[in-house]
Structure 1
Amino acid sequence: MADPMTQSSQISSSQGLNDGHPATSKDSKFSVHDLVHWRDPKKTGVVFGTSLLLLLSLAAFSVISVISYLLLALLCVTITFRIYKSVIQAVQKSSEGHPFKSLMEKDVSVPPETFRKHVDVCLTYINCALKQMSRLFLVEDLVDSLKLAVVMWLMTYVGAVFNGITILILVDILTFTVPPLYEKNKTQIDHYIEMARTQINATVAKLQEKLPGAAKRSKAE
């Protein structure tokens, strides 16, 4: 018969291992939600800085120039490292081989199943978008089509002030600044959003009552 103290220690150690395993797997999966909420400031800072630098570069130079400079910089780093390791191996007379051997042996090909899965997902979104565009532009619902017309009219003013890259820069900045601010002031922001939503819904309801076909639509509902 085993010692009770030994059994309890074994159970505790096994529970510790079991508890530690999910935590490790959880830490390894760093989601986009954690990224924009600055759960890991180092990772978020790198992603935010890199994306902002890339967008600023696209704003100052052409896409071809930015891509060419990025690839050239990457080649300079890899070639320099390759020459450096070759010199070190020649001086030390070692036979370590190619410094990027482990990376070259990795399979970088996309599996057909993964490719088809992503294509199917994209196709679903495309079909949904086409259906919505057909519904809006063929005026299936007059109110929804008028909403789209107002949004497009406002976007003409936005396009006159900003270009596409500037909007992407603003979106990138807002993506990494709004979530933490919202998390800190969630109660107040939700209160004002609910007030605005109530006002908008009341205004839309009044417009729907005055538009033709509103009575038919309300009966159908």
Structure 2
Amino acid sequence: MSEGKTCCGGACVSKSGYDLLTWKDPSVSGKVFGSLVGSLLLLKSVNLLSIVFYISAFVLAVSALGEYAGKLATGQGFVTRFRPEYKNVIGRYAEEYASHAANLIKNAELKLQEIVYSKNIESTLKVAGVAYILYKLTSWFTLWTLLFTATLTAFSVPPLYLKNQKQIDDAIVTYTKVAKDKLAELLQLIKEKTGPALENAEKKLGPVGSFIRSKVPVRTAGSTIGDIPAADSTASTAQSAPSVPSAAPSASTETGDDAITNPLADVKKQAEAAL
């Protein structure tokens, strides 16, 4: 039994698919493209599943009757006598690529969980948009139409993109920036429109509204922080602000003996005054 190939993390599959869709080898890409289109056209014109089940039933019935007739006539079934050696073809290929498939499934599962639980909000919104588009497409077109269109697109768009890569990339960057700016304007407009309504709701709710507001973080220019009490902010401001010297000199800054604060001198003055 051959050992399974070491998983490359899907790099070999990606490279093979890239070479296939970009027509790096026109003969191989042409064969695959023609096979897919021919299969889809055959599936469109005939009920392929019905034909497969009919042929399967016919072959199995002939095999069973031939085996039974051979055992009655010669003591050994005709199928057993003339059958080829058993081979494990599909299992061998499955064993070779099992590690690849398992690794791809694990990565896909983790990626799906990240999307569902919004690890990256932008990615989750993109997938939601794609899912909605697919929903609309499947409501307008049949599955066969979508598969046929997807096949034509997959084998035609990559070569066109490689020929016009710079122009397409520049256009994508430009329109992405415009879309982000429009989204930011829309969010700001929503915030301005809903702000007064939320404040009124907070006032009507009273203590409940204040409690909810205390639990909601406030977004600032630098980071998201909560409300800071006035006393704490005043104290922190006083501690952080540098002390400014007074314009008028104090009594302790006068020149002479009195300018020096000496405890013994104070005691001497008090004694002389008492005498």
- In structure 2, the residue matched to 1:50 is 35
**1:4-153, aligned counterparts within 5 Å?**
31-65=16-50, 67=52, 109=89, 115-153=94-132
Deviation at 1:50, TM superposition (A): 1.8
**Letter paired with 1:162:** F
Residue 173 of structure 1: aligned partner:
152
Amino acid paired to 1:193: I
* Counterpart in the other structure of 2:231: none
In structure 2, give the amino acid aligned to 1:57. L
Query: Any stretches of 5+ residues in structure 1 without a counterpart?
Result: 1-29, 76-103
Matched, 1:195 2:174: yes
Check the 8 A contact 1:143/1:208 in 2, yes or no: no
Which sections of structure 2, spanning at least 5 residues, go unmatched? 1-14, 60-83, 192-215, 225-275
2:209 aligns to what?
none
Q: TM-score, length-normalised on structure 1?
A: 0.51
| 1:96-142: CA deviation from partner (whole Å, max 9, x where unpaired) | xxxxxxxx89x763576x64452222222222232233333344555
Q: Aligned residue for 2:165? A: 186
| 3-state SS, counterpart of residue 38 of structure 1 | coil
Check 1:67–1:55 CA distance in 2 against 1; reply closer, same or farther (3 A cut): farther
TM-score, normalisation: structure 2: 0.43
Rounded to whole Å, the distance in 1 between the matches of 2:111 and 2:217 is 20
What RMSD, in angstroms, separates the aligned Cα atoms of the two structures? 4.2
The residue type equivalent to 2:142 in the other structure is N
Find the aligned partners of 2:28 and 2:94 in 1 and give their Cα distance: 28
Match of 1:154 among 118, 133, 138: 133
Which of the pair is proportionally richer in helix? 1
- Residue in 2 that maps onto 1:3: none
Structure 1 residues 54 and 148, CA gap change in structure 2 (3 angstroms): same
Q: Is the 8 A contact 1:57 1:66 kept in 2?
A: no
The alignment of Structure 1 onto Structure 2 pairs a total of residues equal to 158
- Give the direction of change, closer, same or farther, for the CA distance of 1:129–1:45 in structure 2 (3 Å limit): closer
| Corresponding position of 1:15 | none
Counterparts of 1:44 and 1:146, CA distance in 2: 34
Q: Contact 1:136/1:144 (CA < 8 Å) preserved in 2?
A: yes
Q: Is the alpha carbon distance of 1:48 and 1:149 closer, same or farther for their aligned partners in structure 2, counting shifts above 3 Å?
A: closer
Shift in Å, 1:195:
1.8
